[in-house]
Amino acid sequence: MNRTQTFVVVGAGLAAAKAVEELRAAGFAGGVVVYGDERHRPYERPPLSKGYLKGGDELGSVFVHPPEWYRDNGVDLRLGAPVLEVDTEGRLVRTADGAQRYDRLLIATGATPRRLAAADSSGAPVAYLRAIEDSDRIKAAFGEGQRIVVLGGGWIGLEVAAAAREAGTEVTVVEVLELPLLRVLGPEVARVFAGLHRERGVDLRTGTRVASVERDGDRAAVRLDDGSVLAADLVVVGVGVRPNSDLAEAGGIGVDNGVVVDEFLRASRPDVFAAGDVANAYHPVLGRRLRVEHWDNAIEQGRVAARNMLGGELGYDRLPYFFTDQYDLGMEYVGGVGPEGYDEVVLRGDTEGRVFTAFWLRGRRVLAGMHANDWDAADRVRAIVGTEVDQSRLRDGSVPLEDVAG
């Protein structure tokens, strides 16, 4: 790789920041150009629903690098500059200001919250959480005497609910399934989170759909399919995200629930790579494609993509990992159940006291594992995921985790 080459990154989030950091650390001396839609330099998004939303983290703590890092490392960071077209034949990206040639291209465009048309068209106060400004707006609605309604009982919805309750806000969460987080955790563990929020005063409405959202003066009125009406100073919609893959698709790059890449994060067009929330990558250990929307994945895929842009053959085989902090419950999860589901969940510890571990099994194989407030078990949980175990020993809480191998 010589100084005359230029690598271009489309997207200026966490995956992009880690990719350019790795390029420079590996000695790449050519041009590096990063395009971002937002006017903020790359930042981490988890604090937007955790520490920053709760007021404990300062804004400066969310940014990956200080401003001078990009200057000192020769990274041409072009913010507020949406890419309008990717031309893989001509090896160009085009913006309103012109075209930029690339030798290697990384697509790290992330994802966008799924919209709820009934809410958007209502004229009522409605918010989604993805950017810094979104977190600021939601936080401004917190406080004693304030009421928010959260539509969706996923990770974002529950973290917003927890932050709001800790600020004294009245909170209702509306979830279409019988339990929050049901698709991710299954009923055995999802019940723990439902109980946690109800115990903290959240009005958790499950098995319920939104019939309409209406404006009521400066407030919102959310009508449910059971006929009840919820008044809110703000409605927060958290019903998932969609990958920002339209630009790639228009450029002739293979797309299917994100940009399709192999285990080396290479896309269908020459010298094009993808990383982070937008990448639907083949996982060599799990033997299937998956798109992961979490902080750890953005960091590690950004690094691996950079190495392979430099000519490496480094397969991305890291197991999915995510974490959450809600009230006094901290949780880390590793692995993934996948579309075939699981046979059994093994719970060890005190689920009532919310200090426990959980393992999802198919046969003897551990598909995923988590701990809740059991920080000493974190490394042992990770070590077990992906292995085969003796189920009877795993079920026996007196047997140490390191002694449950099959």
What whole-number distance in Å separates Cα of residue 236 and Cα of residue 141? Answer: 10
Evaluate whether 208 touches 224 at the Cβ level (below 8 Å): yes
pTM: 0.95
3-state secondary structure of 85: strand
Q: pLDDT tens digits for 317-327? A: 999 999 999 99
CA distances from 77 to 9, 65, 74, 96, 310 (A): 10, 12, 9, 16, 20
When the pLDDT of each residue in the chain is averaged and rounded to a whole number, the result is 96
What whole-number distance in Å separates Cα of residue 316 and Cα of residue 156? Answer: 26
Q: pLDDT tens digits for 50-94? A: 999 999 999 999 999 999 999 999 999 999 999 999 999 999 999
Residue 1 has pLDDT above 60, yes or no: no
Q: Would you state the structure tokens that stand for residue 321, as one six-digit string? A: 């990992």
Residue 17 has pLDDT above 60, yes or no: yes
CA distances from 129 to 52, 81, 100, 254, 281 (A): 12, 21, 31, 28, 25
Q: What is the pLDDT of residue 2?
A: 66
What's the pLDDT band for 366 if we cut at 50, 70, 90?
very high
What whole-number distance in Å separates Cα of residue 61 and Cα of residue 64? Answer: 8
Could you give all domains of the chain from N- to C-terminal order, each with its CATH number? 6-112+241-309 (3.50.50.60), 115-237 (3.50.50.60), 328-403 (3.30.390.30)
Residue 101 has pLDDT above 90, yes or no: yes
CA distances from 260 to 253, 274, 283 (A): 8, 8, 12
Q: What is the mean pLDDT of residues 373-398?
A: 94
DSSP state of 56: -
Q: pLDDT tens digits for 131-186? A: 999 999 999 999 999 999 999 999 999 999 999 999 999 999 999 999 999 999 99
Q: What is the mean pLDDT of residues 29-43?
A: 98
What whole-number distance in Å separates Cα of residue 372 and Cα of residue 380? Answer: 13
Q: pLDDT tens digits for 228-278? A: 999 999 999 999 999 999 999 999 999 999 999 999 999 999 999 999 999
